[in-house]
Amino acid sequence: MLPVWLLVFGLGTAIAGLSGVLAAPTRAVNPEMGITVLAESFVVTVVGGMGSLMGAVVAGLLVGVVFSMTSLLAPEFAELSIFVLMALVLLVRPQGLFGKAGLMG
């Protein structure tokens, strides 16, 4: 019996760890650095759609661009913009941009 659950969880954690390794040189390393990323990655998953690799990549890029552009043009709305984007996606396409309908209800 393969402990599938355990292996998948470990693999997911390892990939998240790799992103931490990549983030370390560009962002300040501190115990709270995960907190903002947590909310942002939730947004990316919702926008992209659950269970879609393509969705995660495209939504990651989209969320990043939206965040950077609002930081440039209207800095006081930067943090807000990605959540507004998520709300809009939920309203128009509840399963996310690339998600299959029915997966999330």
Q: Which residues inside 55-94 make contact with another protein, applying CB under 8 A? A: 76-77, 79-80, 83-84, 86-87, 90-91, 94
| Interaction between residue 102 and another protein (CB under 8 A) | no
DSSP string, 12-75: HHHHHHHHHHHHTTTS---TTHHHHHHHHHHHHHHHH-TT-HHHHHHHHHHHHHHHHHHHHH-G
Nearer to another protein, 24 or 74 (CB): 74
| Burial (CB count <10 Å: 0-12, 13-18, 19+), residue 83 | middle
| Interaction between residue 39 and another protein (CB under 8 A) | yes
| Interaction between residue 8 and another protein (CB under 8 A) | no
| Interaction between residue 104 and another protein (CB under 8 A) | yes
Using CB under 8 A as the criterion, which residues of the chain lie in contact with another protein when the complex forms? Answer: 39, 42-43, 45-46, 50, 76-77, 79-80, 83-84, 86-87, 90-91, 94, 104-105
